[in-house]
Structures are given as C-alpha cells and as structure tokens.
Amino acid sequence: MVLPVVLDVDTGVDDACALLLAAMHPSLDLRAVTCVGGNAPVDAVVAHTLTVLDAAGRPDVVVARGAERPLLEAAVDARHVHGEDGMGDLDWARSSRCADPRHAVEVLRDTLLEAAAHGDSSSLVTLVPLAPLTNVALLLRTYPQVAAGLREIVFMGGAVEVGNATASAEFNVFHDPEAAAVVLDACADLAIPVTMYGLDVFYQPRVSLEQARLLVAAGGHGASELAGRLVEFQCQRFESTAATIGDAGAVCAVIEPGGVRAERLPVRVELAGTWSRGRTIVDRRDWGGDLSHDPHGQARSSIDVCLDVDAQRYATIWLDTVSGGMR
C-alpha cells in the first residue's frame, strides 16, 4: 500500500535529508509540504524546500509558507548547526518555483479534508512534523474536523533523556513549547494517534563520509549528489567521519515502523521551568497504582515514544532511496 503523507518542515540539513526520502520512496505518496520558521527563517525554509524537491524530481508537490514565529516568543534559528544559509552553505542552485498562495494551515486543512471525503482508510494521511509544531497547533485548534482525514501524527521532537537546545529541551519543542503542548492536548481531545521520534533515537541512524562521497560522485545536481553533500557538510562541521540522517529517521519510522521500539507513555511539555522550559516530561514510572500523592496527576496525552531504533536498517533505507536504488 502506498501511504499518503504530508511533511511540515523547517528545512535545514536534516529536514532536507527527510524531504529527499519522503519524495522518492516508492511506498510514500507525498501530498504536500508545509513550512514553518525554525532552523532558518520561514522564507529561507520555503526556498530550501522547493530546491530539495526539484533535486528529487518532484516539482509537483505543493509547498506552502506557514508561521514565521512561535505562538508567544520571538523566533530563533539554528544556523550555527545548519550553516549561514540554513542548509549547509552548499551554493546549490535555487528553485525558480514559488510557494502555493495559500497559507500552510489552509493547505493542511484542504489536504486532510479531501482525504476525509474519500471515506476509506487507505486515503487517510500521516502527518510528519519535523519542525516546531506551530502550524500543527494552529491547524488542530482552528479546524479540528481535519482529524477525520488523519491516520496519525509522527513528529520529530522531544526527548526522554537529554536535550540539545538546552540541557533539558530538544530544539523543535523548545522553539515553540506552547505549540507542542497544544498539539498533544488537541490530539488527546480528537483521538489522533501520535508517535514521538525524539533525540533518544534521532542521532543513531548514521551515514559515513565515505558513503556520502559515493553519493556526491553521482553528480548532475540530482538527489544523490545533494544527499551526499548534506552529509559531507555535517561531517565537516562536526569534524566527524559519519553523520546522522536526523529527521529522515522519522520518515523511516513511517515507512518501516517495526524498525523502532516504542512504548505508550504519558507525555507533558514543561512550559514554565527556569532551566527546563520546553522539556518533554515522559512518565516512565513502572507502577500503576494510587496517584493521589502526585499533585500533577497523570498527563492527558499518552503517545508512542520511540526508545530504540534499528539504526543500520534506517540508514540503509535512506541510502538506497536517495541513490535511486529503490526507484
């Protein structure tokens, strides 16, 4: 079965790796890509997204501009990780295409309502947010009826253990913690299944510098060369002989969910902590008894939290796909 998917991205290096996979893998039908400010400002995110889809041979995919800042706070970016241009400073030729005139939330609404109108489960869309959850929060609170068109949400964000933006918080959730909290609450209200592909598994699927150079050697400014250059950039920036495929792992979890070990666990987002704002509080207590002594009670949202991953399996899926081996 070919699975309909929509990606919500803040395209930097790792989102670009994920876009290539989602656009090219034969088991996915990429219906649209929506953009939000995060790794880079939203206009740069739109430009990067169009460029990556062109390299993947998918100019047919709708791309839409969404929120440029978090719900409450000023925008920040992660150019210290993703390069000054937000996508590896590759000097890659930009797409000549433009974004859809609709706002990202409108594109998400229209795509999901269309899926719901088909009336069969094979048309339901898997939404894969790889960015701050601002667009998704606005969508679910403004148009809750879109839940009828959703199969599930698989998001890259959060962590059970350590963060990266801070010692406590992962970047996507830290960038807009209110949006993440709204999404978890809305999904509990609307009975939308959710999987969290967080930092606990994010770094594990890796590609070597040698493998990246083989991709670059394909040349032609196509998907293989771009994929290789993205990995090369990470290896150079972090002085390493291998690099993570990052957000592409969340797309792999949609393609082959058996490659991750997940547990259904209650999750909250910390919104007020001095040192822990943006942390995903994952309740792993192994007792199910009396909660009367816990002043917080149990979180409303119980979601599937990825705790381990078959890293080699996911790296191979990505390499086979971006090299054209599965097309």
Alpha carbons within 13 A on the beta-carbon side of 101: 0
What are the tokens at 276? 């822990």
Q: Is 294 a catalytic residue?
A: no
Q: In the prediction, which pLDDT does 326 show?
A: 41
**pTM of the full predicted structure?**
0.95
Indicate which residue of 10, 15, 247, 304 is catalytic. Answer: 10
Residue 291 φ/ψ, nearest 5 degrees: -100, 10
Angle, to 10 degrees, between the axis of helix 42-55 and the axis of helix 223-237? Answer: 130
Q: How far apart are CA 286 and CA 276, in angstroms?
A: 23
Sign of CA dihedral 192, 195, 198, 200: positive
Provide the residue ranges of all domains of the chain, joining segments of one domain with +: 3-322
Q: Which H, E and C letters describe the chain, residue by residue?
A: CCEEEEEEECCCHHHHHHHHHHHHCCCEEEEEEEECCCCCCHHHHHHHHHHHHHHCCCCCCEEEECCCCCCCCCCCCCHHHHCCCCCCCCCCCCCCCCCECCCHHHHHHHHHHHHHHHCCHHHCEEEEECCCCHHHHHHHHHCHHHHHHEEEEEEECCCCCCCCCCCCCCHHHHHCHHHHHHHHHHHHHHCCCEEEECHHHHCCCEEEHHHHHHHHCCCCCCHHHHHHHHHHHHHHHCCCCEEECCCHHHHHHHHCHHHEEEEEEEEEECCCCCCCCCCEEECCCCCCCCCCCCCCCCCCCEEEEEEEECHHHHHHHHHHHHCCCCC
The architecture in CATH of the region 3-322 reads Alpha-Beta Complex (3.90)
Tokens 């054209």 identify what position? 324
pLDDT tens for the chain, 327 residues long, are 899 999 999 999 999 999 999 999 999 999 999 999 998 999 999 999 999 999 999 999 999 999 999 999 988 876 777 677 767 778 788 899 999 999 999 999 999 999 999 989 999 999 999 999 999 999 999 999 999 999 999 999 999 999 999 999 999 999 999 999 999 999 999 999 999 999 999 999 999 999 999 999 998 889 999 999 999 999 998 899 999 999 999 999 999 999 999 999 999 999 998 999 999 999 998 766 667 778 888 889 999 999 999 999 999 999 999 998 543
